[in-house]
A = this chain, B = another copy of it.
Amino acid sequence: MELYFTNSENIAETEAEFDSFESRHILKTMRKKEGDSIHFTDGRGCLYLGRIVATKPLLKVQHELVKQLHWPPPTLTILGIGFIRPSRMDFLIEKTTELGVNRFYIFSSHFTTYFTKNSVRWEKIARQAIKQSNRLYMPDINISADYKKFINDISSIQYKFIAEQAASKKVTDILKKNLVNVEDNIVFIIGPEGGFDTNELNLAQKQGFVPLSFGEHRLRTETAAISAAFYINLLKN
């Protein structure tokens, strides 16, 4: 199934419109025409089947609702990521969204060397990734310049892990204990290149984050993040 996306505010009861980015993709790249049927999601758990009724100025469809998952998502899969180089961050967002992350916190911390408040690019990448992986939840992307505030904000999440190469616990230790279906929110936070400083690590531990090691070998932030996203999948299944 090819899946397309439009924001929920563009979806009325029987008609929906697509933005210029998506209209161009559907019409030019995928060569859809008036009368053709397409599947699309609002990224909030709804799957629609629509028939194209207009192509200019924007693509418009008449639609019916095919499937509706619970909104908000029943459990959260959260990644907290220290800012890294944009090209690597792009890849991280794409891969981890495919793997089912439905909330991001991108934070600035001691060893951060890059920072932007602009998440538009990542939202586009996430949109492509949910279409690719046939997911009906669009992740929301939060940007936080304040590590301390970010840690406090997410401290109520049930399962909290922080990546730390020197940690005595390994990812397999938790997995061996928890290979039952975890039906709760899980957050994994991963530092920028250079990791966390001691204060940051202590602060997270005080808030209940469990330091976990991916093994003795140093991983880049995006490699650890993709591994963490897949790891959360394993914990939840």
Contact = CB atoms under 8 A, between A and B. Distances in A.
A237 B215 contact: yes
Interface string A220-233: 10110011001101
A135 B98 CA distance: 28
B219 A133 contact: yes
Contacts of A56: none
A95 interface: yes
A91 B91 CA distance: 9
Contact of A132 (B100, B220, B230): B220
Contact of A223 (B99, B134, B234): B99
Given A135-B217, A226-B95, A231-B230, A237 B170 contact: yes
Contacts of A124: none
B175 A217 contact: no
A223 B93 CA distance: 12
A99 to B, nearest CB: 7
Interface residues of A, number: 30
Nearest to A130: B217
Interface string A104-135: 00000000000000000000000000001111
B95 A217 contact: no
A171 interface: yes
Contacts of A179: 172, 175-176, 179
A67 interface: no
Interface string A195-237: 0000000000000000000110111101100110011011001
Given A230-B230, A231-B230, A234-B175, A98 B217 contact: yes
Identify the 4 closest CB pairs spanning chains A and B, nearest first: A133-B217, A227-B230, A172-B237, A95-B223
Given A99-B219, A132-B218, A134-B218, 19 more contacts: A91-B91, A95-B226, A98-B219, A100-B215, A100-B217, A133-B217, A135-B217, A170-B237, A171-B234, A172-B179, A172-B237, A175-B175, A175-B234, A176-B179, A179-B179, A215-B233, A230-B230, A230-B231, A234-B234
